[in-house]
Amino acid sequence: MLLLSVCHAQDQPTTASGDPDLSQQPWRDRLAALEAKINSRDQEVTKMLQQVLTNQQTILRFLHAAPFPYVPAPRAPESRSLTTTAAGDVPLAAVVAPAPAANAIQRPRSCRDIPDGMSGEETIYLGPGEPVEVYCDQDYEEGGWIVIQNRFDGFVNFNRSWEKYRDGFGDIGTEHWLGLDTIHRLTVATPHEIAFVAESFKGERRSARYTLFEIGGETDRYRLQKLGVYSGTLGDEFNYNKGMEFSTYDQDHDQYADVNCAIRTASGWWHRSCTRINLNGLYGNESGVRFAYWLDWLHLNGLKRTRIMIRELKRRK
CB atoms within 10 A of CB 46: 10
In three-state secondary structure terms, 254 is: coil
Rounded to whole angstroms, how far apart are CA atoms 307 and 150?
A: 5
What is the model's pTM?
0.68
d(CA 163, CA 127): 22
Q: Regarding predicted confidence, which is higher, 118 or 27?
A: 118
Answer for the pair 192, 213: CB distance below 8 angstroms, yes or no: yes
pLDDT of the residue at 25? 65
What proportion of the chain, given as a percentage, has pLDDT over 90? Answer: 63
What is the per-residue pLDDT for 54?
66
Which residues make Cβ contacts (< 8 Å) with residue 131, sequence separation at least 6? 123, 124, 125
Q: What confidence tens digit (pLDDT) does each residue in 29-64 have?
A: 777 877 887 888 778 877 777 777 666 655 544 444
Position 296 pLDDT exceeds 90: yes
Is pLDDT above 70 for 23? no
- Mean pLDDT (whole number) for 282-299: 98
Residues 98-117: what's their mean pLDDT? 74
Write the secondary structure of 162-206 as one string of H (helix), E (strand) and C (coil): HHHHHHCEECCCCCEECCHHHHHHHHHHCCEEEEEEEECCCCCEE
Above 90 in pLDDT, residue 80?
no
Average pLDDT taken over every residue of the chain: 83
183-209 pLDDT, tens digit per residue, is 999 999 999 999 999 999 999 999 999
Please give the Cα distance from 45 to 280 (Å, whole number): 91
Radius of gyration over every alpha carbon of the chain, rounded to an integer in angstroms: 43
CA atoms of 164 and 295, how far apart (whole Å): 26
pLDDT for 105 equals 66
Q: What is the pLDDT of residues 122-173, one digit of tens each?
A: 999 999 999 999 999 999 999 999 999 999 999 999 999 999 999 999 999 9
Domains of the chain, earliest start first: 109-312 (3.90.215.10)
